[in-house]
Amino acid sequence: MTADDKRREPASEHIDVSVLVIGAGGAGARTAIELAERGVDDVLVLGKRNHGDAHTTWARGGINGALGTRDPEDSWAIHAADTLNEGHFVNDPNKVETVTKQMPDRLRELDEWGMDFSRTDGGDIDQRFFGAQSFRRTAFAGDHTGESMLNTLVDRAQELEIPYRENVMITKLLSDGDQLHGAAGFDMESGDLLLFNAGTVVLAAGGYAATYNRHTSRDDENNGDGPALAYAAGAELMDMEFVQFHPTGMAVDENDPEWEPWSGRLVTEAVRGEGGRLFNADGERFMERYSPDQMELDARDVVARAIAEEVANGRGTDNGGVYLDLSHRDRAFIRERLPRMYERFQKLGVDMASEPVEVAPTAHYGMGGVAVDRYGETSVDGLYAIGETMAGVHGANRLGGNSLAETVAFGAVAGEQIAQRVDGPGTVPTRLVRSVAEPHFGDLSEMADRDGEYDVMAVFTEIQDLMWNHAGILRDTETLEAGLDRLAEVRQQTKEMRVGPMTADSFEFAVDIGFMITIAESVLRGALQRTESRGAHYRRDYPEIDSDFQKNIYFEMADLGGMTSHTEPVGTPSPAVQEALDEGHELDYHQLE
């Protein structure tokens, strides 16, 4: 095969579908369910893994909604106020209101569909405290809420006989910059090239936390493929600099083969929600220094920075963390409320009921993502982005329990909107097939089995290390600029990577590297441009919040290539939400003591 033949590589299979949903986690499943229930049967959901094996299962702590089962005075407006406060007022107030208004009904709906919620003595859905929330509004299923929710959604989708295809990776959206026409990718088991003619595409492909070396995802998930695909198709990215570092990832001895795989894995916020206390290596309950009122249940950014400061000042553990202690709680209580956490540490030889566990901040969530309208549609007609792929709900810092809420709320909203406009399968115009799809397939074929100087996983790890070292919890101009310089060097290495066949893990990671480079550049540029400290974004050289920077940063691809940016001011909360903000609701932490 000549080089020219490879540039014109045809697809092995053409698939016609009205709505293509990319991502089979909570957001994708909920969208497909809404479409099916509204009579749209020409839907196809794609997943990179086996059905039901999505990152949603890793969300353990809970899902927010103002049901008021524990605190009747709670309301959707107070939930919105807490979300805006936590997001330091760069959230989109309309999207926040959409989620908080939707969630009581979405929780009841999940309950009707059979989700195994934990219950009060009276049989209602139980709700627990979560950091930075004014009332107990986090519904939960033990400490396996995401797993229970996804199982419920998958069961419902199967009841509705929604078509699903697993082990498919989408590598390119077929767009002219204004209109979306379909998608290109490959079957990860057979290596077949796939072309989807789709009238509407929904990106529900997760976020970008795994671009960091210590993170709470699997390495093959949350590499930024959703936002990067949308960006390449002509959509805008927004607020990419806001990356949430969860305070309590597992801090382990990475030289110990039993513990090393657990580095950075999430120790759910529910441990602190149920009364867990943080101590440094000197035995001090150090949150008294940083947040004497809210203590361990202050916002995630506050607690993560506090831990980072303790470690930086020599008061951390040998594994670079601090201690999280729940031993003052009864064993039976821990086993009932936190069964997965208890079992995990028991298997590793640590008894949570009698000794503390070691924790340290870990990259957990990208608040930024694709810029969308009130229904989840991007500036490219027919292209939607929802869940962690979208931006706007969380602002500068996400409220714990709002991630799962966002997936089902916007899944329902986007599904309803799409159902009103579906008009059959799309057709990729011949000009796009020849100018975009076929050359892209040629590039994929050319990359497969390529020889080169650099190992794929070494380049992958280099990007993760770069992001942790140059765009981590503590940032400054010099570090960010050095990160951009290093990223340019890594970009050159990608042209000389050794890659296996399309069915190999190395090929999948090589594709991910392309997505990660786009994401890394947008995070570094956004962090450099935002000359203030706000929420999860902390600049050592600009440590104060700047009221003139209450705006969002957008990135788009320039006509001649390269990344351009602009800013826009945020919207105004509705009168009901503003009233809740003015009332100044706040958690009385000492209810937990």
pLDDT digits (tens, 9 = 90+) for 252-283: 998 999 999 999 998 988 899 899 999 999 99
Greater pLDDT, 74 or 8: 74
Amino acid at 400: G
Using 50, 70 and 90 to split pLDDT, how confident is the model at 593? very low
Give the pLDDT score at 498. 97
Give the pLDDT score at 60: 74
Distance of alpha carbon 117 from alpha carbon 15, whole angstroms:
38
Assign 400 a pLDDT band (cuts: 50, 70, 90): confident
CA-to-CA dists, residue 78 to 131, 134, 195, 196, 579, angstroms: 15, 8, 46, 43, 9
Q: What angle do CA 462, 463, 468 make, to 5 degrees?
A: 100
Whether 334 and 353 have beta carbons less than 8 Å apart is answered as: yes
Contacts of residue 414, Cβ cutoff 8 Å, sequence gap at least 6: 31, 34, 202, 375, 376, 377, 384, 386
pLDDT of residue 444: 97
**Annotated catalytic residue: which of 215, 272, 337, 344?**
272
pTM of the predicted structure, to 2 decimals:
0.93
Residues 79-125: tens digit of each pLDDT: 999 999 999 999 999 999 999 999 999 999 999 999 999 999 999 99
Name every residue whose Cβ is closer than 8 Å to that of residue 268 and which is 6 or more positions away in sequence.
Answer: 60, 61, 143, 248, 338, 341
Instruction: Quote the pLDDT of residue 420.
Output: 96
List of residues 6+ apart from 557 with CB closer than 8 A:
231, 232, 234, 563, 564
pLDDT at site 588:
67
290-304, 405-419, 441-455, range with the lowest pLDDT: 290-304
58 pLDDT exceeds 80?
no
What residues does 277 pair with on adjacent strands? Answer: 325
Contact 557, 233 (CB under 8 A): no
What's the rounded Cα separation, in Å, for the pair 376 and 372?
A: 5
- The type of residue at 249 is G
Q: Residue 566 pLDDT more than 70?
A: yes
Query: What is the average pLDDT across 518-531?
Result: 98
| CA distances for 567 relative to 233, 326, 371, 526, 546, angstroms | 21, 44, 12, 10, 14
Residue 186 three-state SS: strand
Q: What is the mean pLDDT of the chain?
A: 94
> Active site residue: 55, 136, 181, 246, which one?
246
CA distances from 194 to 5, 11, 30, 183, 441 (A): 17, 5, 25, 8, 9
For position 7, what pLDDT does the model report?
59
- 3 pLDDT higher than 60: no
Q: How confident is the model at residue 56 (pLDDT cuts 50, 70, 90)?
A: confident
- Is the model's pLDDT at 591 over the cut of 50? no
Strands 193-203 and 180-187: antiparallel
What backbone torsions phi and psi does residue 330 show, to the nearest 5 degrees?
-70, 145
**Burial class of residue 592 in the structure, from the number of CB atoms within 10 Å of its CB (0-12 exposed, 13-18 middle, 19+ buried):** middle
Lowest mean pLDDT, pick from 5-14, 127-136, 550-559 = 5-14
Residue 45 reports pLDDT greater than 70: yes
Q: Tell me the percentage of the chain whose pLDDT exceeds 90.
A: 87
Q: Give CA–CA dist 40/233, Å, rounded.
A: 25
What pLDDT is recorded for position 479? 98
pLDDT at 592: 47
More confident residue, 588 or 290: 290
Please tell me what DSSP assigns to residue 201. E
Whether the pLDDT of residue 1 is over 50: the answer is no
- Annotated active-site residue 215? The verdict is no
Residue range 431-458: mean pLDDT, rounded:
96
Q: Note the pLDDT tens digit of each residue in 341-350.
A: 999 999 999 9
Q: What is the mean pLDDT of residues 322-342?
A: 95
Query: Is the per-residue pLDDT at 76 higher than 90?
Result: yes
Share of the chain above pLDDT 70, in %: 97
Check residue 352 and give its pLDDT.
96
Q: Are strands 383-385 and 193-203 parallel, antiparallel or unpaired?
A: parallel
Give yes or no: 272 in active site: yes
Q: For the chain, state the CA radius of gyration.
A: 23
Three-point CA angle 262, 267, 270, nearest 5°: 160
